[in-house]
Amino acid sequence: MKKEWQHKLLLFGFILVLWLPTVKMFFSEKNEMLAYENRKSASFPAFDIKGHSNIILSAARYFNDFMAYHADNFGFRNEMLDLFRYLKVSLLSVNPFPEKVVKGDNGFYFLGNSFSDVIKESKGISFFSESQLGVIANNIKRIDADCRRRGIKLYVAIAPNKHTVYGQCLPVIKSEHATKLEQVISRMDRNQIRIIDLKEDFHNYRDKRLFYLHDTHWNSFGGFLGYRTLMEKIVRDFPCIKVLSINDFKFGTLPSESNDLTRMLSMKIPEDRVVMEPKFECNAGREKCRLPIPGGYKRNPDEYEFRFVSHTRPLKALIFRDSFFEAMMPFIKESFGESVLIWSAYDKSLVDIEKPDLVIYELIEREIDVLEKSDP
């Protein structure tokens, strides 16, 4: 009799453990920022048949959306991932997510192919078809024409993948085929619309570290070189703009252990971060946000809008950007009278609201596929 109760208790405990994550899911905060992923968790789906011709397709879509919701929101998700990372890295000395993070030579870590096939794209192994390039070219031309109609200058700028700049540290040989970025630049040159490659000046600084070892992003100096390349193009159209120089800063370093790639692996590896301290008095001040955050915005809402005003500078710039522009932000805000930075793809409605003198549309090389989906 005693053993029978022990078996029942064990069975009940086992079922309870299985159901705990699901039960906790319904009592946890929804649509929260996911650890290590810089995005919000998927929202609970609504069953909708309006966008489909029959109920079977609607049910299939609902099932896929619910599975995505469950994968992002099941109870103890972050705790379980932390334990998984710890067991793999600390006890087994194994990369827990080889598809997400790749260790290269000379201490460099890189994003893996699970992020937009970034290694294949950077090596020219994965590339655009002619039809895809046609769609991209038409989308960029529409954005350019949209700005021209309003008397606004457009600058499309691409920040480089770490894989492109330090590709020699990856055990993958570059294909003879052009990369996606090279394809887009070539195609738009034919359309007389220049795509600004922000790594254009990097070859002159091969003795300098331009990216973090353990992070996907460029450091402050890499961001400054990108800023300078961008501004060299803009100042041709707007000679009144002040472009900062290297001599305007003194360089230093600060120790850090917070880097996105090693954080994915639950590792902490010390690394010096480049600090560029201005020798001049900064004029641009942070202003309050004025724009509503769009419904369904999946990133941190606190990062959607940054607005700076300098009363000593002319012109207003509206900048559609991603995380790579953060390293450029301290420089760009000192070059314009007003800088409005939006973490978003190009949005025509914001151009009408802000009425800038120029629009900068910046994106990282690994997200260049977004240009295929742009719809101004």
pTM of the model: 0.78
Residue 309, strand partner residues:
285, 338
Average pLDDT over residues 121-125: 94
Check pLDDT > 70 for residue 330: yes
Q: Phi and psi at residue 17, in whole multiples of 5°?
A: -60, -40
Rounded to an integer, what distance in angstroms lies between the CA atom of residue 323 and that of residue 352? 24
d(CA 228, CA 236): 13
The predicted pLDDT at position 114 comes to: 81
Q: Which amino acid is at 31?
A: N
Q: Are 231 and 243 in contact (CB under 8 A)?
A: yes
- pLDDT of 282 reads 93
Which amino acid does the sequence have at 313?
A: R
Average pLDDT estimate for 326-343: 97
Check: CB of residue 5 under 8 Å from CB of residue 19.
Answer: no
* pLDDT at position 223 over 60: yes
d(CA 197, CA 193): 13
Confidence of residue 179 (pLDDT cuts 50, 70, 90): very high
Q: How confident is the model at residue 376 (pLDDT cuts 50, 70, 90)?
A: very low
Per-residue pLDDT tens over the stretch 60-110: 676 666 666 666 665 566 666 566 556 555 555 555 556 788 889 999 999
Give pLDDT tens digits for 140-169. Answer: 999 999 999 999 999 999 999 999 999 999
243 residue type, one letter: V
> Is pLDDT at 309 greater than 60 in this prediction?
yes
Cβ count near 253 (within 10 Å): 11
Q: Interhelix angle for 130-149 vs 180-190, to 10°?
A: 50
Least confident of 12-26, 27-41, 174-188, 303-317: 27-41
Residue 230 Cα distances to 27, 54, 63, 157, 195, angstroms? 48, 50, 45, 7, 10
Percent of the chain residues past pLDDT 70, beyond the cut: 76
Percent of the chain with pLDDT over 90: 62
Computed over its alpha carbons, how large is the radius of gyration of the chain? 24
Strands 338-343 and 305-309, sheet pairing: antiparallel
pLDDT reported for residue 32 = 58
Mean pLDDT, residues 34-47 taken together: 59
Q: Where are the domains of the chain?
A: 2-74, 101-248+280-373
Size of the chain, expressed as the number of residues it contains: 376
The predicted structure's pLDDT at residue 28: 61
Spatial contact of 71 and 37, defined as CB atoms under 8 Å apart: no
| Backbone dihedral angles phi then psi of residue 43, each to the nearest 5 degrees | -85, 160
Is the separation of the CB atoms in 246 and 221 below 8 Å?
no
> 253: closest CA among 276, 220, 275?
275
- If you average pLDDT over every residue of the chain, what do you get? 85
pLDDT by residue (tens digit) across 240-259? 999 999 999 999 999 887 78
Task: Name the residue among 113, 139, 78, 130 with its Cα closest to residue 263.
Answer: 78
Q: Which two tokens stand for residue 214?
A: 């353990």
